[in-house]
A and B are shown apart, each in its own frame.
Chain A
Amino acid sequence: MTAPTIDRQRWMAILARASRAEIAELVGPELPRHELLKAPETGTVMVEGRAGGAGRRFNLGEATVTRCVVRLSDGPMGFSYALGRDARKARLAAILDARLQREEATSPLHRAVSDLAARQAAAHELASRKAAATKVDFFTLVRGA
């Protein structure tokens, strides 16, 4: 997998986890001129698991997913795929995907996405710390000793 693809996978994952409000803030008050190649569409993806975690694949159940494809007036195409049914978020995220491909890695938008990623990582870490507070040491009692 090429380096640009890995970068793109990373920001698409960050945008998929972001709220609509967070994404709207990244886009800013004015939308860049764009064409909707595929209007926001909600469907499902069948989520697969594996028996025992590592064995035979099986269908666990579906999840709602919304996707959108746009093209900015100056060229690049942007995609978004994310869990849920938020059409507005899908459109804005697709616009961001297009802009992020076009812009230098040091651009303000890229930095803002990195900040968002840091906030998401911090939320994960807090959840992990809270879980760690419930870590337990059980000890066995010897009967009849």
Chain B
Amino acid sequence: MYVAVKGGEAAILATHERVAEARRGDAAVPEISVAQIREQQALACARVMNEGSLYDADLAALALKQAQGDVIEAAFLMRAYRTTLPRFGSSEPVDTAQMAIRRRVSATYKDLPGGQVLGPTYDYTHRLFDFALMDEGAPSVMVGPDPTISGREGASSTTAAGDARVEPEHDGLHAPLDARMPRVPDILGAEGLMEPEVAPEGDPRPFDLTREPVSFPADRDVRLQAMARGDEGFLLGLGYSVQRGFGGNHPFVGEIRVGEVSVEFVPEELGFAVDLGEITLTECQMVNQFAGSKDVPPQFTRGYGLAFGHSERKAMSMSLVDRALKAREFGEAAEYPAQQDEFVLYHSDNVEAAGFVEHLKLPHYVDFQGELELIRRIRREREARLAAEPETLPEAAE
């Protein structure tokens, strides 16, 4: 049993001051603004929105600033703030087929309707430092070989003569993308080769794990909600384990799409759908190998991932684990961690996990005193027993 402690107020107040100082760092360096974090650290903000389970880029940026860039602490701030807000209701389900596409790739079809759109991606970068980014005050976005890595000895300024970089020139020359791009699994679905994805009878309201306790086995809506707010690193590790044989799926990326989607909400007092604006989403549809039965011919099976912001690694990991968690539905043996819903759902929430792991550093003096007394007593009893036993030992040996 945990026994509380009291006291230490002055020390705790002082530690808040130390935190504020540590957060600010060297006062000679200009302070970072929330808007700068929102605009220039957007991928970190996306992660905080996902794991904090609250879409608000300004708040995610504030959380990152306040938490000194600690993503889990920032997610905790988002979760705590969320509990102070009333919930107006639930949106209409977002329609990712209507997404304003910024990126859309498929590993299964090279020629797909609407085309492959790389968008902004690090996939085809060399992972070499761009030291030009250390040079503040460069006027705008520049691309091309960085002079600091293209052989000019001692060149440190990007604006010096000899800079081969140019402003981007690929804008506006191209026709806009198709207004509607079909989701790749739907193309396979039209041929009947893909496990169909249809709403159950009556299109029921989804389970909400923030309102009701989860029980097992958990349905797919519960699993998807838990993974959407789950830790990216944990899901990445589980997804990786599936690929390496601890789960036995052989997946292809049917499609990844990133872009903006409208959120619609029907206020009771209005009675019609109001478009609240757009959010950025990343969707991943994983195509996995077959399942079939006596009644159903072999079909590809699906794994699905959806995340706030541009969060490809998260959406991909989620879709791998989503498929692994369908083991029971397909009659597969659930032998590995990624296939076990109770294991995945109970350990994917990093705010809960951090709370339980990190509470160990708080005072446990009374518990530990109890343990100390117990071990001392056991040792005293053992010594007493050994002291009494020497004469009996030879007899026992005979």
Interface residues of A (CB under 8 A from B): 1, 5, 8-9, 12-13, 16-17, 41-65, 67, 69, 79, 81-85, 124-140
Contact = CB atoms under 8 A, between A and B. Distances in A.
Interface stretch (B86-94, B236-244, B339-347): B86-94
A83 to B, nearest CB: 4
A115 to B, nearest CB: 19
Contacts of B173: 129, 133
B116 A51 contact: no
A133 B222 CA distance: 39
Nearest to B171: A130
B225 A58 contact: yes
Nearest to A79: B270
Contacts of A84: 56, 58, 277
B277 A82 contact: yes
Contact of B206 (A58, A85, A132): A58
A13 B262 contact: yes
A9 B270 CA distance: 11
Contacts of A58: 206, 220-222, 224-225, 228
Nearest to B257: A53
A44 B93 contact: no
A136 B78 CA distance: 38
B91 A46 contact: yes
Interface stretch (B23-31, B193-201, B364-372, B376-384): B193-201
19 contacts: A17-B277, A41-B86, A44-B87, A45-B87, A48-B92, A50-B93, A50-B199, A56-B220, A58-B220, A59-B90, A62-B55, A62-B82, A63-B276, A79-B274, A128-B101, A129-B173, A133-B171, A136-B118, A137-B116
B17 interface: no
Interface string B61-84: 000000000000000000000100
A43 B85 contact: yes
Interface string B312-331: 00000000001000000000
B197 A57 contact: no
Given A45-B87, A133-B171, 12 more contacts: A5-B272, A13-B275, A41-B86, A45-B263, A51-B224, A54-B198, A59-B210, A63-B276, A84-B58, A126-B172, A131-B101, A135-B174
Given A52-B185, A60-B225, A61-B50, A43 B171 contact: no
Interface in B88-137: 88-97, 100-103, 110, 115-120
Given A9-B274, A83-B279, A135-B115, A127 B102 contact: yes
Contacts of B119: 131, 134
**Closest A-B pairs by Cβ, 9 of them:** A52-B197, A13-B275, A55-B197, A133-B170, A128-B176, A63-B55, A132-B174, A134-B118, A58-B221
A48 B85 contact: no
Contact of B85 (A13, A44, A140): A44
B90 A42 contact: no
Interface in B252-275: 262-263, 265, 267, 269-270, 272-275
B142 to A, nearest CB: 16
A47 B175 contact: no
Contacts of A61: 49-50, 53-55, 228-229, 308
B50 A53 contact: no
Contacts of A69: 269
Nearest to B227: A58
A13 B170 CA distance: 30
Contacts of A52: 185, 197, 285, 302, 304
Contacts of B273: 9
